[in-house]
């Protein structure tokens, strides 16, 4: 059912207007995700996944689970550290999850879709992401 609702929402965006600020590009890139907070241990536990789509201000992530250790990766006041593997190198990005949902059994991908709004990131890492997105436009 969620897939059906996503298709309806996508079609409405086409007909009415897309409220997203930055265009998204559907691309699968490897990511490592961990919690960024004072409670995290010296060696943060990682969840490996990949992107569903990228934009200059957000990422759609496919993760096998939304828990690391005994803590959730989604929720209020959670900041995530995402290491994104780009062709030019690794970009360390930070962001807050804005939505998540378990993927349908009919969906070819399994796990959870997590929408991440990017926060202020190091200029070098932001430049790597923007350069990669610009290469997709060509």
pLDDT band at 92 (very low <50, low <70, confident <90, very high): very high
Indicate whether 102 pLDDT > 60.
yes
Mean pLDDT of 9-23: 61
Give me the architecture of the 23-137 domain, per CATH.
Beta Barrel (2.40)
C-alpha atoms less than 13 angstroms from C-alpha of 47 in its C-beta half-sphere: 27
- Digit-coded pLDDT (tens) for 25-71: 999 999 999 988 745 555 568 899 999 999 989 999 999 999 887 88
Q: Is 45 exposed, middle or buried (0-12, 13-18, 19+ CB in 10 A)?
A: middle
Count of H-run helices and E-run strands, the chain: 2, 9
pLDDT band at 95 (very low <50, low <70, confident <90, very high): very high
CA distance linking residue 54 with residue 51, whole number of Å = 7
Threshold 0.85, pTM exceeds: no
């Amino acid at each position: 059912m969620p897939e059906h609702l996503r298709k309806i929402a996508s079609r409405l965006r086409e007909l009415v207007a897309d409220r997203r600020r930055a265009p998204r590009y559907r691309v699968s890139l490897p990511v490592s995700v961990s919690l960024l907070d004072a409670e995290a241990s010296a060696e943060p536990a990682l969840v490996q996944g990949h992107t569903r789509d990228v934009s200059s201000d957000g990422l759609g992530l496919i993760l096998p689970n939304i828990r690391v250790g005994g803590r959730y990766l989604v929720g209020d006041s959670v900041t995530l550290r995402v290491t994104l593997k780009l062709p030019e190198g690794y970009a360390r990005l930070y962001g807050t999850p804005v939505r998540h949902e378990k993927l349908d059994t009919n969906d070819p991908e399994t796990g959870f879709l997590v929408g991440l709004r990017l926060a202020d990131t190091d200029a070098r890492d932001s430049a790597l992401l923007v350069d990669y997105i610009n290469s997709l436009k060509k």
